[in-house]
Amino acid sequence: MAWLRMEGSEVGSVAATVASHTDSNVILWFRTFNAICRSGFRRHATYRQAALAGVVTNTVFGFLRCYVLLAVAGAAGTAGGYDRAQLVTFVWVGQGLLAVVLLWGWTDLADRIRTGDIAGDLLRPVHPVTSYLATDLGRAGYAVLARMLPPILVGPLFFDVHLPARWPTVPLFVGSVVLAVVLCFACRFLVNATAYWLQDVRGPMVLWTLGSGVLAGLYFPLRFLPEEIQRVLWFGTPFPSLLQTPLDVLVERDPPATQAGLVALQAGWVVLLLAGCRLVQRRAERRLVVQGG
Amino acid sequence: MAEAGGTLAAYRALLGAQARAQTAYRTSFVIDLLGNVGATVFDVVTVLVLYGVTRELGGFTLRETLVMVGLTAFAFAVADLLVGNIERLPRYVRTGLFDAVLLRPLGALPQLLLMDLPLRKVSRGLFGLAVWVTALAGAGIEWTPSRVALAVVAPLAAVVFFGSVFVATATVSFFWVESGELANSVTYGGRDFASYPVTVFAGWFRAAFAYGLGFAFVSYQPALALLGRADPLGLPAWAGWAAPGVALVALAGASLTWRVGVRHYRSTGS
């Protein structure tokens, strides 16, 4: 409960001075955003044991997937355009990235809609999409330290990894990860927001869980699929932009121009889906009836 | 005798209440059925995609690997249906719900399992069975009476094995409440491990999962026996028949850890 109080005091003090005209003051907007971000970080930093358990699990799956993909590469040493070292990096960074973008297990918004707690969010002078995004970025920041670094460090101890050979790859990867986090947040927000209409979000959640794992490139690199299917997935769905794109950028699967193109495509999806979130939120607020408020 | 009948009636009441509750919202239930089968479908699709890129995985062809995939998918789905819900134990321990379970004059484990029997997972078991039968039919097995027997016994042993793994890993939460998804690394990790030939893996990781935890005997060794292949890793042919024995050892281990765990349980005091 400590984080709640902290969030309340910090955000409250900032928000109280700006009333409802948050948008007009950019500096205050950033300070608010920052404060929510930091409280998101602190909130998740309290769950240290859960993070440790998660790291162990990700590491076990890292070994599993790594051995399987190396077996796919087999004697030839390549598969789907990746060499062995690239596949190793793909798997281990992917295991870390999984917890950073947080594909699964986020039902905060849906729960608050169902219980009516969402009313509290709507009273705040910060747009719900903005405040949830800020919290999520804080969470992702903690996940980079606690969930992503360990598998990245463990992988090279047991396997030969691919290290970026071109320097622009590194900043491009960092940017791609940030975009992936925001994009994944937007997807989860939209899935959760179906609760405004459905109350029970099990159905959309099941579809999201199923689709996101396989179509984001977690189970196997999407480059293993036929070219036409790849194109449909990248341009027609946001899924490859969640994991596959940052990983492809990092292992330098493609020449620099394609790398940059993939990240630009990611950015396009981010803009589209964040706009979608705001639209959905506006439509939902118009019809929302909070029970017992 | 009357008491045993009463106990049985109580369990039946628990199960009946669950069935009615879960099917009350029909659309949700149907979506759940579909969603659950989808997860297993994607597991199989993953193997097919991998074989689209390579002809052999650890020295095994697609048809051979599918025997392992089918056996694992079917057995894991049934075990998950019957005892998989024990995964929720950490929540029961944290919220103190486990106190209520212990207070009732029924066994703690059967209660936990029946309190939330996930009927939606039935679809997964049926799909797993279909994969198992298809894989057997397509693998070009020379059927003998003993192989027919193995084709029936091996999945049953694997169900017992996976069920034991579910229970044993869940008891961790008696000692470490915040263990979260740790159990997944052995349950779902074990399922993924058993879906591929053991030859795919290497080093201490293979030794630990295949022989330390016993996952090699769940699907890999029985599949070798069915296919009539010698083990590239050198275990004798009878190892294919070790599955029931290994399953019983796992069962004994699981019931022991469960008993120790329950005895160790300290209420949250709420």
> Averaged in consecutive runs of 10 residues, what is the pLDDT profile of chain B (270 residues)?
74 85 80 85 93 93 96 95 87 85 85 82 92 94 94 96 94 83 91 96 95 95 94 91 95 94 80
Q: How many separate domains does chain A show?
A: 1
Per the structure, the complete domain to which residue A88 belongs is given by: 47-287
| CB burial readout A145-164, b (16+ within 10 A) else e | ebbbebbbebbeebbebbee
Separation in Å, CA of B252 to nearest CA in chain A: 25
Tell me which chain A residues have a C-beta less than 8 angstroms from the C-beta of B189. Answer: 57, 60-61, 64
Cβ atoms < 10 Å from Cβ of B67: 27
Separation in Å, CA of B29 to nearest CA in chain A: 9
The whole-angstrom separation of Cα B24 and Cα B30 is 11
The whole-angstrom separation of Cα A70 and Cα A49 is 32
The whole-angstrom separation of Cα B126 and Cα B78 is 9
- pLDDT for A1: 31
- Please check whether residue A91 lies inside any domain of the structure: yes
Q: Are B81 and B121 in contact (CB under 8 A)?
A: yes
**For tokens 């030859």, what's the residue?**
B199
Identify the helix (H) or strand (E) that includes residue A79: strand A78-79
Contact A72 B196 (CB under 8 A): no
Work out the pLDDT band at A6, boundaries 50, 70, 90. very low
pLDDT for A13 beyond 50 = no
The whole-angstrom separation of Cα B25 and Cα A198 is 12
Residue of A nearest to B197 (CA): A68
> What would the two tokens of residue A245 be?
């794109």
Contact B181 A53 (CB under 8 A): yes
- Please check whether residue A236 lies inside any domain of the structure: yes
The whole-angstrom separation of Cα B199 and Cα B158 is 20
Tell me which chain B residues have a C-beta less than 8 angstroms from the C-beta of A60. Answer: 185-186, 189
Contact A203 B28 (CB under 8 A): yes
- pLDDT for A293: 46
- Please check whether residue A14 lies inside any domain of the structure: no
Helix/strand/coil for B57 = strand
Check if B53 contacts A (Cβ < 8 Å). Answer: yes
Contact A57 B184 (CB under 8 A): yes
- Please check whether residue A29 lies inside any domain of the structure: no
- pLDDT for A10: 39
Domain segments of chain B as ranges: 2-264
Tell me the ipTM for this assembly.
0.91
The closest of B142, A96, A132 to A124, measured between CA atoms, is: A132
Find residue A78's DSSP bridge partners.
A83
**For tokens 């793909």, what's the residue?**
A90
- pLDDT for A14: 39
Q: Are A59 and A148 in contact (CB under 8 A)?
A: no
- pLDDT for A15: 38
Residue of A nearest to B32 (CA): A203
Q: Which of A67, A76, A203 faces B200 most closely, judged by CB atoms?
A: A67
Tell me which chain B residues have a C-beta less than 8 angstroms from the C-beta of A59. Answer: 185
Q: What pLDDT, in 10s, does the model give residues A262-289?
A: 999 999 999 999 999 999 999 998 887 7
- Please check whether residue A13 lies inside any domain of the structure: no
The closest of A219, A233, A217, A229 to B43, measured between CA atoms, is: A219
The whole-angstrom separation of Cα A271 and Cα A267 is 6
Half-sphere exposure of A41 (CA within 13 A, CB side): 13
Contact A61 B185 (CB under 8 A): yes
Contacts of B236 by beta carbon, 8 Å cutoff, 6+ apart? none
Separation in Å, CA of B66 to nearest CA in chain A: 15
The closest of B182, B28, B22, B29 to B114, measured between CA atoms, is: B22
What's the mean per-residue pLDDT of chain A?
88
Check if A68 contacts B (Cβ < 8 Å). Answer: yes
Work out the pLDDT band at A25, boundaries 50, 70, 90. confident
Contacts of A12 by beta carbon, 8 Å cutoff, 6+ apart? none
Check if A207 contacts B (Cβ < 8 Å). Answer: yes
